[in-house]
Amino acid sequence: MQSSATRGGGMDGSTTKGDCDTLESGGYHRDTNHKSMLSGVAIKITLMFVLVGTSVLILNQSSYPLEFFRNHSSFSGASCADSSSVHQYTLPIPPSSPAKDENIELEKTLRKAAMKDNKTVIITTLNAAWSEPNSLFDLFLESFRIGDGTAHLLDHVVVGAFDETAYERCKAAGLHCYAVTTEGVDFSGEAFFMSEDYLKMMWRRIDLLRTVLELGFDFVFTDADVMWLRDPFKKFYEDGDFQIACDHYWANYTDVSNSPNGGFNYVKSNNRTIEFYKFWHNGREYFPGRHDQDVLNMIKDNPIIPRIGLEFRFLDTAYFGGFCEPSKDLDEVITMHANCCIGIPNKMHDLTMLIDDWKRYMALPPSNRNSTTKSWTVPRICG
């Protein structure tokens, strides 16, 4: 909610001429015959300094300096005439949450799933709709089993289950399972894109990943509609705190003009990424009705990012592809995501075709693969 000051009005909420311009200080003529006037001015100046000093003290007590969130699409080209379209928000980054009982259980699960370095895990989230037999979760698991050198990675997958059905399905698959609780919310049904339940689920996921970082674990987060066809760890950058796949890869791997997709990312646990995930999660309050990926696009070039010291790395769709922009060479592809695709039946249709394409490719002698089966027969419905 914007204050009257943010809207450009005066302290009483009124609007005065020149609000869109920089404030101008008014002058006065010194007149020794009007001491009472000067005394009044002096009192006002004193009160002003007291007020400013108090404000500075309050701001200094925050856990992190305040920064502006800007909706760049509204902000671009705004003028005094359309100043109402300019949305500016101040956002404090809160201190770390205290340890909770559920975090103890989460840490135990992460330790059991961790790789040889004792700190890296693969995380996905699941609800009943996505975990039904012969549904997306089955294709997700199958991709690991038929991928090129990916089967062993299943030992390190942690499933964040949003409901009891998903939790039991995870257990039946022999994976590491963690019950993600959200008081008063039922995530068991299909959360249609941009519905209220969908948004709650997406933001609960960001909060979960922040907790994982605070517990000291690096992770690869993957949506369950991402097919793992090769080992991605061989293609991640050695530097970079936050590495993320893209819907569209426009430029080089450090350019924020790329279009990131939150369905696949590799994140290292450190103070920078923890602060970033707090900043990102708080964005849900300042951009209501937006999902995590929208907010990420709004904040990826925010001035707070370099102040935190965070470094983005954007993953090339030539290797980390999807239905928005497929990886064209099957000899190079690492993952394929059912992005640019809404609805479980549509995802199932095209991902099933993708798995069939991959099986045909892997059945060929290595020397003949690229020349015989170079690319996909998908997307068909999606994309």
pLDDT of residue 288: 86
- Listed residue (121, 118, 119, 105) closest to 180, CA to CA: 105
83-138 pLDDT per residue, tens:
232 233 344 554 444 446 679 999 999 999 999 999 999 999 999 989 999 999 99
What count of Cα atoms within 13 Å lies in the side-chain half-sphere of residue 172? 11
Give me the sheet containing 320-322, strands edge to edge: 226-228, 335-337, 320-322
- The pLDDT value given to residue 373: 60
Q: How far apart are CA 368 and CA 230, in angstroms?
A: 18
Q: What is the pLDDT of residues 273-311, one digit of tens each?
A: 999 999 999 988 888 888 888 999 999 999 999 999 999
Tokens 């090129």 belong to residue: 148
288-315 burial, b at 16+ Cβ within 10 Å, e below that, comes to eebbbbbbbbbbbebebbeebebbbbbb
CB 310 within 8 Å of CB 273: yes
How crowded is the C-beta side of 58, counted as CA atoms within 13 Å? Answer: 7
Provide the pLDDT for residue 48. Answer: 53
- What is the pLDDT confidence band of residue 375, given thresholds at 50, 70 and 90? confident
Give dist(CA 144, CA 67) in Å, integer.
42
